[in-house]
Structures are given as C-alpha cells and as structure tokens.
Structure 1
Amino acid sequence: MAKAAREGHLRFVVRVYRLRLLGLGLGALPVASVLYQLHAGWWLWALLAFNALAWPHLAYLFASRAARPIETEHVNLVFDAAMGGVWVALMQFNMLPSALLVAMMAMDRISAGGWRLLLKSLALQAAVCLATWWLDGFRYQPVSTMLNVAACLPMLMIYPVWLSTVNFTLAQRVRQQNRQLDQLSRTDALTGLSNRSHWLETVGVEWLRYQRNQRPAALILLDVDGFKQINDRYGHAAGDQLLGDLARLLQRGLRDVDTPGRLGGDEFGIVLPETDLERASAVAERIRLLAENSRPERAGQHIPWTISLGVAAVGEEAHDVGGWMRQADLALYRAKAQGRNRVCVAQARGGGSPVASAPA
C-alpha cells in the first residue's frame, strides 16, 4: 500500500516537473525581453538561465528522491513563487511581463495545491519582491513595449492550454475512478453480480413501479442444495468456483433487463421486470435445468450440484418489499422441504397447493 501511495506521489512530481519545464522556459522570454531593454549585467542573465534551464531538473531530483515527495514538491512550488517575486522586482515592475508571471504562477499553485498553497506562495512572493525591490534601489519602470508584448505571447497562448489539458486529463481519470468505485460498491467481488444492497435497491424500484403503474414483476430466490457438504467434500475453492459458475449460468439464462444478485453465501436473487408468475416460474425452471445439467470439475472430479428456487410475483398479497421477499423466501423453503432441486411458487392467498416443478 505504501509503495502504491509513493507511486501516486511520484506521478504528481512528474506532472509538476513537466509543467515547470514548460512554464519557466516560456516565462524566461518576457523576463529576457525586459533584461535586454535594461542592459542587465551578466549575472542576471546567468540567474535567468539557471532558473529556466537548470532549476526544473534540480527540483525534480529533490522531490523524486525525498521521503515525502509531495511535501517537497510543494516547497519547490513556493520557491518558484519566490523567484517570480524576484523577477518582478528586477524587471522594475514592467506591467505586462510582471502581471503575466504572477497570474500564471497563481494558476499553477491552485492547480497543484489549491488556495492554501496559493496564499502561502503569494505571501512569500510579495515579501521577496519587496526585499528585492529595496535592494535594487526602488527602481520602477512599468511601461511595456511591443517587444515585451511579443515576448509574452508564447506563454499566454501555450501555457494555459497545456495546464488545462493536464487538468482535463486528471478530471477524466477521477471520473473513471469514481465510476469504478461506484461499480465496486454495487458488485459482489466473487461472482460479479449485484451485491445485496444494490439488488435490494432494484427490488425497491420494481415495487414502486408496481405501486404507480400496476406493472407485473417477479422475484426468484435460490440457493445451492447441500452447499456446506460440497465445501466440506471438495474444499472452499471448489465452492467458490461453483458460485462463479452459478453466476455465469444466471447471466446466460436471463434477459438484459433482469437483475441477478448474490445475497450472501450461496443465496442468490433475481428481479424480473414485466414478468408474471407463470413466466417467472418457467424462467426458474430453465435455470434449474441448466444447473442440473452442468457438471463443474475440480481436480479431475465432477461436482454434482442442484439448486432450489422460490418464485413470487408482485401483487396485493405483499404489502411492501419485505412482504414480497418473504413470499419468495417461503416458496424457496417449501422447495427445500419437498426434496430440493425444484421450483416452488408463492401460494396465493386462500389458495391451495403451491405450483412446483421437480426433476422427473
């Protein structure tokens, strides 16, 4: 887990490295245009070359080798902001290049660390700028020439687009991860079917649809006959394999609109929209036959297995979702009591025997 977290931190460091390499390279152009106009000494040109060409690589080395890469990278970002304050003062507050540097760095800080990092960076940037201005004799030449405007254009046109592209890619990745997490929260890990909570939500939706529109729907509850004995005889790995086989069998034997789910252990459920009791009973019988005729194999041994199923249609006999579920559960219990490997349907109120099917 720690290794995975560090890999995520290093991806952040690489992302900032690329942005810094581009941003400082483009940002050096307007600074150089002002230094040229001011007939700056060689040491200022050397400092600019170091800041634009060498510092991005050094910052990457510091962060990538640090015990806490993100914290070190945040320190590097604050240092970037401080250097921005130095250049604003040394450019004697030339208006367009100065505003461009401050604005682009602010965008970068928000993207990398939000408002907290931005405020910290701006505070240091202002302090360093004032100190440098004092050391430079409070010189002030805010007028920007056409040379300065031309030197600012590459950064104005390229860097925001690149930063937006990076943020868009990150947003897409977050959306994909959220979709995956949502899928995981709704899916049973062993079988790939809906888990209990999601399946019950689907049952609730069908119940409400019946209440509004009186549309038919049915539930099937089923489990594996003698599942504990299968686990004891063939091992839990064989039992897990059998549950996976059952899940695939359900997916193969149902419509796209039907929702199978694992309710726990070897108990499964199926929601059948737009399905009356007779049709649901036929679906349950087809699934029973598929299970009976399948012969999963484990370590060269065929594992005989069957399932029992209980069917209940939505209707006036069930006053709520819980009542509907109880009807299907009682039908499943009767299937077990009558010898297993069979389908029983919920008994109508005041009616006689439940409908049942069993192997010949």
Structure 2
Amino acid sequence: MDRRSVLKNAGIAGILAAGAAPAVHAQAALRWRIASSFPKSLDTIYGSADVFASAVKRMTGGKFDISVHQAGELMPAFNVVDGVQSGTVEMCHTAPYYFFGKNEVFAIGGAIPFGMNSRQLTAWMLEGNGEKLLNEFYAKYNFVVMPGGNTGTQMGGWFRKEIKSLDDLKGLKFRAGGFAGKVLERLGVVPQNIPAGEIYQSLEKGTIDAAEWIGPYDDLKLGLNKVAPFYYYPGWWEGSLHLSFYINDKAFNSLSNENKAIVRAAAMEAHLTTQAKYDTFNPGALKQLVAAKAKVLPFPQQVMDASFKAAMELYHELDASNPDWKKIYADYRNFQRDQVLWFRFAESRFDNFMMGQKL
C-alpha cells in the first residue's frame, strides 16, 4: 500500500465530518471486527482501537461499523496476527514485537532495544521509509499496517529486589515484552512473555521475579507496585512502542477509495490520541506511586552499558542471518543517527535545561 497515494484522498474525511458526502452514504453498510492484544481495563492502550472504530463510524455516518474485542474474547492476545492473516478477523490492534518469533522484523515495527523515541519513530514511519518497507515485508503475511498509537518511552519495570549490578540479573525471571528478551537473556535474565492480565498474579505468586508493562498509568491500574517495590527506569528496550493496526489485505483492498482514506485518517487520530493520553496521565500516576512508597530508581550505568553492547551484538548477528532484517534495520538505524544528531542540538539541550528550572 502506498501511504502517500491514500493520503491524497484523505480530504474526504473532512467532507464526511461536515455531513456532505452522499456518494459515501449511499454505499452498503460494512461491519468489521478488531481483535485487540490488550484487556479492556487498560483504557489507554486498548482505547486506541476504540478511538479508531469511533472515528470510522463518525466519518461514515454510521455506515462503517467496527466492533472492538479485547484479548481473549475472539482469540488469545498473541494469536491476533494469525487471525488477520487467515481472514478470521478483518484487523487487529497489537504490539508488533509480540510476533518476532515469525521474523525479527516484526520487532522493528514496534520497538527494539535502544531504538528511536516516539517522535523519531513516528517520523520514520510516516515520512521516512518505515511504513513503505514494512508494508513490503508484511505483504507475505497478507496484511497492511497502519499506525496504532505510541506509548512514549517506557519504564524499566517492577522488581522484587534491588538491582545494584549485573550479577543481580543472573537467573532473574523477568516478564518483558517480546523482542527485549533476546537481549536480556544475554545478561543472564530468564525472559517471560506474559499477557498484561496475568502479570499481577505471576508476580504475587512468585512465578516471576520482575515485570515491565508500560509506565505509571497502566502499571498503577495493574497494581504492580503492590507486589514488587522497586520501580526502575528507563525501559531501554522501549525508547518508544509503536503500536499497529494490521488489516487483512483482501478486506482493505475491497474498500472504496473513500473508505480507505477514512481508515487511514482514523488510524492517525488513534495514533496521536494514544500518545497524548500517556503523556497526560503518566505524571499524575507516578506521583501516586511515589506516595504509595514505590522506590523509583535508575538502572545502574553498568547495566545500561552491558545492555547496549548486547543489543548491538544481536543486531550484528541478525544482519548476517536475516536478509529482511538487514534491509529494514539499515534504513532504521541510518534515520536514527540523523535524529539523534538533531535532538542533541535542540530537543535534548532544551529539555535538560527545563528539568533544572523551578516552574
């Protein structure tokens, strides 16, 4: 799918919002389903799909109705991509790195350790080559991809014991999302891939020793501070998490040009709304966690340095073993180098100054 060609038709969204599109209203009513990888209780990340579905319905005057189904309702959280690929559902909303077992490239579509922050990643996806390269790759899985939100930089998770050195990671059973485990296991960690709804119980029972989810707002909802006191930052494996809508290619290609444009516009609305919600809700939630005696700590420099080294070694190995990875990762990293250079002069300098001021 050529994103830019779809955007040429995006003006229809504004016309529809004004209620002046009889040609679209004359089309037959459509009903689709979204299978989410997230529980409904997490209104931010699950809510991305709700925002999308509501936008589509609004812009089509109710003629295109999409129902959203939480993880486990239609299929398990980690089976939603299979559902879209087979055409069981028209689309899903998920974190791409959950499916790196199919191919490590899926992780690039979501988050890789020491990857781009949310603004940088959105820029690569939308104005760089990100979506173009990923859609070429995803064609073999029978779906197209559209942006589904971004969480921003995540926290490093909740630990039962303090992490003072690399030795404290040895043998640690750590719930970490998807691809991060491939780096963590090089540090002696035993990664566990557990859906959000099962994290609290696993920590409470001692099945795992630590867990990361996203950040303060969602973590407070999950109650993770009640079963593990040490809250580490940053989540270096998720400088940002780019969520995705995967849409079955036959279902998408059957849409009119107007509805394709509407789907695209709705995805962009969901993408921007999700990031705004996390940036709005996380500060207050962090204050609540600190008031509840959470011990908020940075990862030791030794851990950060060793993690970076392990990640770079992994990427080098994947360059040699996975042609799909090598092609897309090279473009990703080249884009990131320029972004880091720019942010160093403007964003970073400004942010660091403001953090030292009394507002």
TM-score (norm 2): 0.24
- Give the structure with higher Rg (CA): 1
Structure with more of its chain in helix, by fraction: 1
TM-score (norm 1): 0.24
Which structure's relative contact order is higher, taking Cα pairs within 8 Å and 6+ residues apart?
Answer: 2
